Amino acid sequence: MSMKIISWNVNGIRACVKKALPSFLEKEKPDIFCAQEVKSFKEQCEELWPGFSGLENDWNPAQRKGYSGVASFFKKSPKSIKEGIGDKKFDVEGRVQVMDLGDFYLINTYFPNGAASEDRHWFKMSFLDTAYEWLQDLDRKKPLILTGDINIAHREIDIHDPVRLDGTSGFKPEEREWMSKLLDAGFVDAYRHLYPEKKERYSWWSYRAGARQRNKGWRIDYFIVSDRLKDQIQEVKMLAQVSGSDHCPVVLELN
């Protein structure tokens, strides 16, 4: 049985709805759509998008209004959905949903951005340390697919100017080392599994200086799968032509 999952940091779901998110989903027809940085409560969005095109849905907004938050939409409801990773200092920011799909867990996540301050960088590093152990614990129960905005460009080919941007938040050595450690612990970057050396494929572009038009981007949105699921990866695509956010949708097709 095939499955199509789309992940997209929408950078404000209400704004993205106005920019044709419903028509995008109608065209692509994913089995599951995972949105990050929704910056909205369900009730606020439903005023603009009544019924959410008939999709089942679950929301984990941040307690703080207009900030962070994830939401997932599906044709068929998962067996169960849990929110958070079990640490209140992270979970109040609405960063994680865990969906039990029977054969595997699907995790919709929005990792912290450490760029705002030194404190936020160490908040992010603490989140990464917690997530590393938590993901391994989940993986021992059943395989998983982690998707969303990880806020890390892993390799030099995942960022448009690795020399100039070396040490920038999202491309700091300790962040990249964390990603390598995770992949060494029994997980696979689905895109790099299929396209190990493909360059100039990005998922986020700054709004400044025409970065998107010039493809000066970063690949920070991922599908990371348990190693024992890698043979089911059929395709991974970044839909760079789709506007509506500073990120583009990322598509995973499983067989």
Residues labelled as active-site residues: 149
Dist. CA 170–CA 159, nearest whole Å: 10
Inter-residue contact 6 to 30 (CB < 8 Å): yes
Inter-residue contact 148 to 34 (CB < 8 Å): yes
Dist. CA 226–CA 229, nearest whole Å: 6
Inter-residue contact 6 to 148 (CB < 8 Å): no
Dist. CA 241–CA 230, nearest whole Å: 27
* Pairing assessment for the beta strands 3-9 and 32-36 based on DSSP bridges: parallel
Q: Which two tokens stand for residue 147?
A: 């998707």
Number of neighbours of residue 50 by Cβ within 10 angstroms = 8
Inter-residue contact 114 to 125 (CB < 8 Å): yes
What distances in angstroms separate CA 188 from CA 24, 126, 168, 174, one per listed residue? 28, 22, 24, 19
What's the sign of the alpha-carbon dihedral 99, 227, 135, 195?
negative
